[in-house]
Amino acid sequence: MKNLSYTEIVTTPNYSYIFNFEKNFLHTKNRIWMQNNLTSSYYYCIIYIIIIFNGKYYMAKRPRFNLRGPLILWSSLLSLFSIIGVFRTLPEMIHILTHHGFYHSVCIPSFIEQDVVCGFWSWMFALSKLLEFGDTIFIVLRKQELIFLHWYHHITVLLYSWFSYSEHTASARWFMVLNYFVHSIMYGYYALKAMRYKIPKFISISITILQIIQMIIASIINIAVYQYLKNQKECNVSHKNIIFSLFIYITYFILFCKFFYESYIKSHKFKEKITNERENYNKFKTN
């Protein structure tokens, strides 16, 4: 199959229904807005850091807020948003892979520029990364542990998403669909936990594994794009974007692996140790 030129019109999936707000999506207008407001993302991140760490200091000597109801609503809405995002963006990626191939899927930004449905939800995806800062507010007010992975992930995702949208980065097609998919499950899990459903531990383990797999796939995509550029193939991904993306996805991979070890392996070993010590103590008492 020949590589499609960036200027060629490609076929898009046949959506059963297209909403008016999707039909009226104008990628050029939104791209200009993002380019003009790109520096604002830095200010948002600075404000975010100031609020969460001052909030943590403020809450140190105060009782925690319960916020179970708001948390259920928050997580449920984000899960629903991500599920819709999957259903509106995944068909486009499958269609492109089936009809135009892998090269097109990582190098040609037709998902934004030639598909109004996927284009609109790409725009929503970028904006939602600012909204997701709200996750940390719940952690601070409920006095839960605020780990480095959490706030580092939120900041870098916002910066990268806005930067990529301003460039109409083609490989972002993959990153967006993968993120929508993982978040649809993750926020659903958070909502059920807030509802106090007893969820098997393998579910949380599976979600972390999915996140790690997401980082591996994203890193492979970046390497593939670099190879296309090296071979002087047309590819709408800047070298700066590849460096930024590869850096954050490798650090995510390391941090999520560390989280996985500390949460599911190290803690399990510690619990086993405590259990064995209790059993030995009980045996000692009965002898």
Count how many Cα atoms sit within 13 Å of the Cα of residue 196 in the half-sphere of its side chain: 4
- Condensed to tens digits (0 to 9), the pLDDT of residues 146-186 reads 999 999 999 999 999 999 999 999 999 999 999 999 999 99
Active site residue 153: yes
- Over residues 111-125, the pLDDT tens digits come to 999 999 999 999 999
- pLDDT tens for residues 97-154? 999 999 999 999 999 999 999 999 999 999 999 999 999 999 999 999 999 999 999 9
Axis crossing angle, helix 148-167 with helix 27-37, rounded to the nearest 10: 130
DSSP class per residue in 177-225: HHHHHHHHHHHHHHHHHHTT----HHHHHHHHHHHHHHHHHHHHHHHHH
Give the residue from 28, 17, 22 showing the smallest Cα distance to 117: 22
CB count, 10 Å around CB of 52? 19
Q: What is the pLDDT of residue 252?
A: 98
Position 116 scores a pLDDT of 96
Provide the mean pLDDT of the chain. Answer: 91
- Is pLDDT of 253 > 80? yes
Residue 283 has pLDDT above 50, yes or no: no
CA distances from 44 to 131, 159, 276 (A): 11, 10, 49
Mean predicted confidence (pLDDT) in 73-83: 98
14 pLDDT tier (thresholds 50, 70, 90): confident
Q: Which of 27, 100, 104, 153 is catalytic?
A: 153
**Distance between CA atoms of residues 184 and 53, nearest Å:** 28
